[in-house]
Amino acid sequence: MLAVRNANLHYGAAQALRGISLDAEMGKITCVLGRNGVGKSSLLRAITGQHALSSGTVTFNGVALNGMAPYGRAKQGVGYVPQGREIFPLLTVKENLETGYAPLSRGERLIPEDIFNLFPILRSMLGRRGGDLSGGQQQQLAIGRAMVTRPKILVLDEPTEGIQPSIIKDIGRAIRYLRDSTGMAILLVEQYLDFCRELADHVYIMDRGEIVADGAADILDTADARRHLTV
């Protein structure tokens, strides 16, 4: 289980996270919902080691991640699909996938066949440059690249952002498959309520750097949740 406790994060004098505590359990999909700018990406950057917390702790299966570089966290099994996907535009699809080898030992350096079963388009585009792919294909590639690292927790930053509905369905199916087939924990942040309602085992709602509610997906239908989520 990933456990965040009393996390505070600052950008200079501005505080982006205020005393956040949350759990992402193994074999479950945990969704964090919130409007633009409430601190969702900051939370994921703190978990994956892109930005240090000012105070608070992050542990994964009992191992303290605080102070560990992103590479060390990847070795601990933290896979990250960043906002905007961050595909290398001049590398081919295959080379992009192979960048996921970095935290693996030599014997583990294989591209899992599951990636192509979930996203067949990637197999047919292995030799194409990342920059030539559509936004939805790049999102599939970013998830595939994270799968190459054999994550025990997959952390996704707004996987539906700017993506057409048919590919959103494929991504939802892939996330469910990963939960059910591997028992990994999945933590995703989103603004797209219906996507979370369909997928989430547990939901947290964030507003202005704080967790303001949490529970099963049906809390999204409460008036209190809507107040924090509508613009």
Give me the residues that bind ligand ATP (CB under 6 A), please. 11, 14, 16, 34, 36-42, 83
By CB neighbour count within 10 A (0-12 exposed, 13-18 middle, 19+ buried), where does 154 fall? buried
By CB neighbour count within 10 A (0-12 exposed, 13-18 middle, 19+ buried), where does 86 fall? middle
Pairing label, strands 63-64, 185-190: unpaired
Smallest gap from Cβ 156 to ligand ATP, in A, equals: 12
Pairing label, strands 185-190, 29-33: parallel
| Cβ closest to ligand ATP, residue 148 vs residue 160 | 160
| Cβ closest to ligand ATP, residue 170 vs residue 190 | 190
| Cβ closest to ligand ATP, residue 14 vs residue 223 | 14
Task: Identify which of 176, 164, 2, 159 has the alpha carbon closest to the alpha carbon of residue 82.
Answer: 159
